[in-house]
Chains A and B, each alone.
Chain A
């Protein structure tokens, strides 16, 4: 049903269409639609098979399940908040159509309301589609209460998206548009990784600390306390499982949050947009003139340029930060100084360093903004490319240095073996990306795997091979040395080197 041109419904349709276009590339959309559609139908069949004949659950079981469902909602909430934050930043800073919309006769409040609505629907869509097989099959097999999943997820997405937009606007007001882009990207990355980090933190706790945490949770779960089974704390879970009143409460809270955000902060939104444009020119007229640092060797000039570009790219920074966040649990393992975890730690650090180096190499090599400038210059291309690889490898190794030095201090042999696989993985990933890289806009960083599958596949095989090498080498060098491990090490090492050779053999002509 098409809305009347200029109406809010019409604008919402436009926004959702834009969301869909931005989510998938036109060329591969049809193929993916077919594949995903078939999988989705298959999941319906599987869900139908599972739910058919399943009796309705008794109330006691449902109240226990509400706890699990609430925890699931919290996990989804962090992901939704992360996506909402990213989409809010995009709507303020990245989308090029806001000037067009604001210059139209549409009221700015409608534009903001529709945009916030589109963000909410966009955030919810993934989870609604994923939940659909179970919910639809439930409706057919008599588990009507499962239909509540749809409004519960939508309300949850509306609430988290509104909070994300409020945070974005607050950041713009407090720290300005320029810094908001960076901070919001970082917060989005942290929110996305929060549950993973918390789960790892619990796993890495000493037995005593775990006991303490369990005691605390048990105390709070006593009747009448915050985490008791009948507590309001589990309301989102009960709403998800189809209890009418909790569902109504969830919808009312989310709706109120949405209306409050849309009605009372649209002025901030418009000012945020204006600031986003004007902040780029806000520093005109500083008294001191910048002094360049000329006459440096070519390699240093290239390194400085690449590092400046990396450091000033909020999208990239947030991605790198996300990788570092996933590295944190490994850091905790290192600090525990438990020799039994050294092989696993070597594997983890090796994969992370390779992944980080590949990401940075893609940015400095494939996403070069001015390739014609480099080609038109008399400087040796080989030197420029080497300097670019160094620009990706050096920061990676600097970041890895802290856990590696600690590992060497704990156990020299396994620490040095770890250094070997980390350095090898870093350099191999960078070289693979250099040889296989195809020019692409910097903004394609997150989807680089789609556009260059061969490169990403070779990076993955290389990374896992080096990780395997680190794992078995350290096991082989440990107490009760094992010849079986040594043989495995030679196999994984061979795969790693062959992968590098393959990357070189199939390198693009330009390299």
Chain B
């Protein structure tokens, strides 16, 4: 595996009675924002959950930052963070307590975690809610706190499943800025989204998955060249209707 590759998937398959992901080959470079698009039930979430180590593939190999996920899952997980579409939070914890717990799970040293937690809560506008339990948070606030948890250990690879769902314009802007900052700082982001404008504006490369197979991949211009052009929405609809 090349040193500049953050994620490499080789011939990865997963079945749940029927095939969910079939012989998927995917390579995401370090410092890249990669958008994985596809219709509902295409296998996007299954793919991300396998990368995050939450699902074991039936076949194939996954390497994260050059570490084989099957042979050394702890080392691979140490380098990444996963944020599902339904935030993984505890209703009865306060924001700082949640970050304290997540930092503990990733073994982050106090001198790194404490200032980073304060910085993240400030940046995401959650500091003023520091004394509240998350059970009273709005969907957007929960999503932002889960994102803060994902970033508390400064992961090299950030995996996000529909990170902008349910966010208002201001919160969506904050999250997008944070992701772009992460990429500019050398981090890698893989995200799925149904908001194609987001992928169009933010992603350096786009992969389109359907029926568990990667049917197209490349920059927006490369994808346009394969079709009649137009917006990403036009490209997406053409490619998924052809497959």
Report if A and B associate in a common complex. yes
With a CB–CB cut-off of 8 A, which chain A residues contact B140? Answer: none
Q: How far does the Cβ of B129 sit from chain A's closest Cβ, in whole Å?
A: 6
Q: Are B54 and A376 in contact (CB under 8 A)?
A: yes
Of A281, A286, A372, which contacts B130 at CB under 8 A? Answer: A286
Given A294-B100, A309-B90, A372-B84: A289 touches B130 (CB 8 Å cut-off):
yes
A369 CB within 8 Å of chain B: yes
> Roughly how many angstroms separate A308 CA and B90 CA in the complex, as a whole number?
10
B154 CB within 8 Å of chain A: no
Of A295, A369, A372, which contacts B109 at CB under 8 A? Answer: A295
With a CB–CB cut-off of 8 A, which chain A residues contact B89? Answer: 369-370
The size of the chain A interface, using a CB distance under 8 A, is: 38
With a CB–CB cut-off of 8 A, which chain B residues contact A373? Answer: 88, 102, 105, 149
Given A283-B131, A309-B92, A370-B90: A294 touches B110 (CB 8 Å cut-off):
yes
Q: Are B97 and A308 in contact (CB under 8 A)?
A: yes
Q: Are B97 and A292 in contact (CB under 8 A)?
A: yes
The stretch of B74-82, B180-188, B195-203 that contacts the partner chain: B74-82
> Roughly how many angstroms separate A302 CA and B107 CA in the complex, as a whole number?
12
A380 CB within 8 Å of chain B: yes
Q: Are B113 and A292 in contact (CB under 8 A)?
A: yes
List which A295-320 residues lie within 8 A (CB) of chain B: 295-298, 300-302, 304-305, 308-309, 312-313
> Roughly how many angstroms separate A12 CA and B128 CA in the complex, as a whole number?
43
Q: How far does the Cβ of A93 sit from chain B's closest Cβ, in whole Å?
A: 11
With a CB–CB cut-off of 8 A, which chain B residues contact A297? Answer: 104
With a CB–CB cut-off of 8 A, which chain B residues contact A281? Answer: 132, 136
Closest to B73 in A: A378
With a CB–CB cut-off of 8 A, which chain B residues contact A284? Answer: 128-129, 132
With a CB–CB cut-off of 8 A, which chain B residues contact A370? Answer: 88-90
List which A391-418 residues lie within 8 A (CB) of chain B: none
Given A286-B131, A292-B99, A378-B74: A305 touches B54 (CB 8 Å cut-off):
no
B23 CB within 8 Å of chain A: no
Q: Are A305 and B88 in contact (CB under 8 A)?
A: no
> Roughly how many angstroms separate A304 CA and B111 CA in the complex, as a whole number?
20
With a CB–CB cut-off of 8 A, which chain B residues contact A285? Answer: 128
Closest to B53 in A: A376
Most interface-central of A286, A290, A369 (chain B CB within 10 A): A290
Of B74, B108, B132, which contacts A280 at CB under 8 A? Answer: B132
Q: Are A293 and B52 in contact (CB under 8 A)?
A: no
Q: How far does the Cβ of A386 sit from chain B's closest Cβ, in whole Å?
A: 14
Of A286, A293, A375, which contacts B54 at CB under 8 A? Answer: A375
Q: Are A290 and B104 in contact (CB under 8 A)?
A: no
List which B17-57 residues lie within 8 A (CB) of chain A: 52-54
Q: Are B114 and A291 in contact (CB under 8 A)?
A: yes
B147 CB within 8 Å of chain A: no
Q: Are B92 and A290 in contact (CB under 8 A)?
A: no
B118 CB within 8 Å of chain A: yes
By secondary structure, the B interface counts as helix
Of B96, B105, B110, which contacts A295 at CB under 8 A? Answer: B110
With a CB–CB cut-off of 8 A, which chain A residues contact B95? Answer: 290
Q: How far does the Cβ of B124 sit from chain A's closest Cβ, in whole Å?
A: 14
Q: Are A305 and B90 in contact (CB under 8 A)?
A: yes
- Please classify how large the interface on chain B is, using the bins under 10, 10 to 19, 20 to 34, 35 or more: 35 or more
With a CB–CB cut-off of 8 A, which chain A residues contact B82? Answer: 372, 376
With a CB–CB cut-off of 8 A, which chain B residues contact A295? Answer: 103, 108-111, 113-114
Most interface-central of A285, A286, A293, A313 (chain B CB within 10 A): A293
With a CB–CB cut-off of 8 A, which chain A residues contact B81? Answer: 376
Q: Are B107 and A298 in contact (CB under 8 A)?
A: yes
With a CB–CB cut-off of 8 A, which chain A residues contact B224? Answer: none
Of B75, B76, B113, B127, which contacts A294 at CB under 8 A? Answer: B113
Of B100, B111, B118, which contacts A301 at CB under 8 A? Answer: B100
Closest to B127 in A: A289
A216 CB within 8 Å of chain B: no
> Roughly how many angstroms separate A292 CA and B113 CA in the complex, as a whole number?
9
Q: How far does the Cβ of A379 sit from chain B's closest Cβ, in whole Å?
A: 5
> Roughly how many angstroms separate A374 CA and B53 CA in the complex, as a whole number?
11
> Roughly how many angstroms separate A384 CA and B102 CA in the complex, as a whole number?
12
With a CB–CB cut-off of 8 A, which chain A residues contact B96? Answer: 290-292
Interface string of A273-291 (1 = CB under 8 A from B): 0000001110111100111
With a CB–CB cut-off of 8 A, which chain A residues contact B84? Answer: 372
Q: Are B74 and A283 in contact (CB under 8 A)?
A: no
Closest to A384 in B: B105
Q: Are B74 and A298 in contact (CB under 8 A)?
A: no
Closest to B152 in A: A294
B68 CB within 8 Å of chain A: no
A377 CB within 8 Å of chain B: yes
Q: Are B136 and A280 in contact (CB under 8 A)?
A: yes
Q: How far does the Cβ of A20 sit from chain B's closest Cβ, in whole Å?
A: 28
Q: Are B113 and A280 in contact (CB under 8 A)?
A: no
With a CB–CB cut-off of 8 A, which chain A residues contact B168? Answer: none
Q: Are A298 and B104 in contact (CB under 8 A)?
A: yes
B233 CB within 8 Å of chain A: no
> Roughly how many angstroms separate A314 CA and B238 CA in the complex, as a whole number?
54
Q: How far does the Cβ of A236 sit from chain B's closest Cβ, in whole Å?
A: 41
List which A163-195 residues lie within 8 A (CB) of chain B: none
Closest to B111 in A: A295
Q: How far does the Cβ of B131 sit from chain A's closest Cβ, in whole Å?
A: 5
Give the top 7 A-B pairs by smallest Cβ distance, nearest first: A295-B110, A280-B136, A301-B104, A377-B105, A294-B113, A370-B88, A312-B92
Beyond A294-B117, A379-B74, 20 additional pairs, beta carbon < 8 A: A281-B136, A284-B128, A289-B127, A290-B131, A292-B100, A294-B104, A294-B110, A295-B103, A296-B100, A296-B104, A301-B105, A302-B104, A305-B93, A369-B89, A370-B88, A372-B54, A373-B102, A376-B54, A378-B75, A379-B107
A residues adjacent to B (C-beta < 8 A): 279-281, 283-286, 289-298, 300-302, 304-305, 308-309, 312-313, 369-370, 372-380, 384
> Can you name 11 A-B pairs with beta carbons within 8 Å?
A286-B131, A291-B114, A294-B114, A298-B104, A309-B93, A313-B92, A370-B90, A376-B53, A376-B82, A377-B105, A379-B104
